[in-house]
Amino acid sequence: MVQGLLILIVQVGYKGEKKMKDTRNSLFRPAFLTLLGVLITVPLMSCGFSVCLVGSCQFPVGEDAPLKELTSSDQNVVFEEPGTIIVYRGFGCAESNNSGKQDFLRVEQSLNLPAYATNATVFLNGWRARYLSKDHHVQGLGTVIGNIRLERNTLKWQAAGVLSDNNFDDAYRWCYHYTVVAWNPSNLNLTVDHKDGSCGDSGDPTQANFFSAYNDGATTALSSFPSFLQNPNFASDKTVAILPRGFGFDWEAGCNDHHLLQIGYNLDHSEIFIENGKKYKKNDQEVIPSLPNTASQVDSGFVSWETYGILKDNKGRRYYAFGEMVSGLAGNEVGIIQPPFSILPIEDNGNPSDSGGGAEAQEFVVENVPFEYAIPMLTGWELSYISNDEHVTETGIWIDEWGYDKNARTLRYKLSSILRDKDDDPGHISRHKVTILGIRPLAVVPDLVPFSPSGNSEAAFCRIEQAGTRLRVSVKNQGADADVSKTTVTFANGPVTLNTPAIPVGGSVDLLFNVPPGCSVLNCSFRVSVDSSNQINESNEINNSVSGACM
Ligand SMILES: [Ca+2]
Ligand SMILES: [Ca+2]
Ligand SMILES: [Ca+2]
Ligand SMILES: [Ca+2]
């Protein structure tokens, strides 16, 4: 069974490949699937995953990949709206430093959430890998987060990573950066699909949240893979965000490691759409989705996208395997900003700019973000040496600090990248794309309401001052920017109306009304109405009036 599966993978992998190598019968397994095997421990062990992994590449078998201690880690709250949502960022690092063959690195991490946050997920926001001595060729590299589960109020997950040349004998250090989003389901109606799916031929391939495939048919180092998620709970949600959870690259079978010139990943934009008859990558297979008729479908529980990869040395194209793991986050309060981005293979060397080989950090700012909560997701990146292909000492790209100011609607993040050999020469170039995961879109129309700092009771609106001559009324705008309006207070002897200036989003203004004779702090009843001449089209027109009473 397992052997048959492997042969199938090899056959599928080499279909269309004219230049078959004499290694084609070896039990090659893409590094990414190996990573998945490392991650998805229990179910895969039972399908004999360890056998699958015996290959000429000498990658270790899943069972041989013990959980490693973290060599360093960090965990911080980025923002919290108590009772509703909390978001964390963090990283974990581990090392393989054996005298002979190295290990895949696999770590377990967890996070204790506040009591209200009874649903949560974690996704990948960068990676970094380094040979501990000298520089070497690359056979494969990758990072993946899996085995996500919530145990009471503790979110637990595992992450695995690798950087290797063909004989996997060079000690290395690997780090991954993650973001955790945790929420109160009674305040935020979000649906997450962060299962892994089982590897290989056990189980329904459409239920795997990963794929692994070869760059068949590509004539350059650029490859393209369509995939989808299907979850009945996604139906009727306007938006499903695809959260990146991992990638893997692995040069061709036969363990021919190479220099590196360029490596790139682009999880392109997604839509709640599925195309009838199209072949999608799911698990290690090609799947044609099963639809009710011959039509393509929108909003029927599917979300689809294409992911692009580049793995390149100076040669125009080599054979490689690529894999990806994702989650889906859906809900009518989910929104995504997906900046246009593409990666293209370098076909002509000699870029004039020299940015040095070391880790470079740069801050990026995005303004006018139309969400109450916004989270950056590193969904595209590209790293290349400036001149020619080289050995590698260290490579990676990651978001290590970020924040969102919801009042200024401004997202800031610091992005770092590295690609260097042992003498840091030549330098590297990096490009990236951050998709903004938005939760709770901001209002598009105003909503004016009467407001008192003392609360909502009738007495709270009794704000008489200046020796009983004035009543203070606050008009608050809890929607989008509002133009000028009028506010009326109706006392026992009649209404008093004041012009009210424009109020920006989230702002408020105070108005002072003349208090009529007979009205005092001890005895006065009145009614406050905002937008009393109905000049403003509001998201809520029935919250415009309150009663006030002084007793
Ligand atoms: Ca080596
Ligand atoms: Ca050099
Ligand atoms: Ca209103
Ligand atoms: Ca109105």
* 473-531: pLDDT as tens digits: 999 999 889 999 999 999 999 999 999 999 998 899 999 999 999 899 899 999 999 99
The answer to whether 171 and 96 have CB atoms below 8 angstroms apart is: yes
Residue 204 has what pLDDT? 85
pLDDT tens figures, 199-235: 665 678 898 898 888 898 889 999 999 999 999 999 9
416 and 526 inside one domain = no
435 and 452 inside one domain = no
30 and 74 inside one domain = yes
DSSP label of 69: P
165: tokens are 């040349």
275 and 127 inside one domain = yes
* Residue 32 Cα to ligand 2 middle (Å): 28
Letter for the amino acid at 120? A
403 and 454 inside one domain = no
* Residue 508 Cα to ligand 4 middle (Å): 16
432 and 475 inside one domain = no
Residues contacting 425, CB < 8 A, separation 6+: 357
Extract the residue ranges of the chain whose pLDDT is less than 50.
Answer: 1-29, 40-63, 352
196 and 260 inside one domain = yes
* Residue 538 Cα to ligand 3 middle (Å): 6
- CB burial class (10 A; 0-12, 13-18, 19+) of residue 455? exposed
The rounded distance, in Å, linking the Cα atoms of 263 and 312 is 6
Question: How many independent structural domains does the chain possess?
Answer: 2
* Residue 105 Cα to ligand 2 middle (Å): 27
**Which ligand does the CA of 486 lie closest to?**
4
* Residue 469 Cα to ligand 3 middle (Å): 28
303 and 180 inside one domain = yes
Residue 436 has what pLDDT? 98
Residue 3 has what pLDDT? 27
72 and 96 inside one domain = yes
192 and 325 inside one domain = yes
**Which ligand does the CA of 392 lie closest to?**
2
* Residue 30 Cα to ligand 2 middle (Å): 29
Last residue of a domain, one of 441, 463, 490: 441
* Residue 447 Cα to ligand 3 middle (Å): 4
Last residue of a domain, one of 418, 441, 464: 441
**Which ligand does the CA of 449 lie closest to?**
3
Buried b (16+ CB within 10 A) or exposed e, 61-100: bbeebeebebeeeeeeebbebeebbbbbbbbbbbbbeeee
**Which ligand does the CA of 448 lie closest to?**
3
The answer to whether 18 and 248 have CB atoms below 8 angstroms apart is: no
The answer to whether 225 and 213 have CB atoms below 8 angstroms apart is: yes
435 and 479 inside one domain = no
Last residue of a domain, one of 391, 417, 441: 441
Residue 168: domain span: 2-441
**Which ligand does the CA of 545 lie closest to?**
3
419 and 475 inside one domain = no
Where residue 486 sits, what CATH number does that domain have? Answer: 2.60.40.10
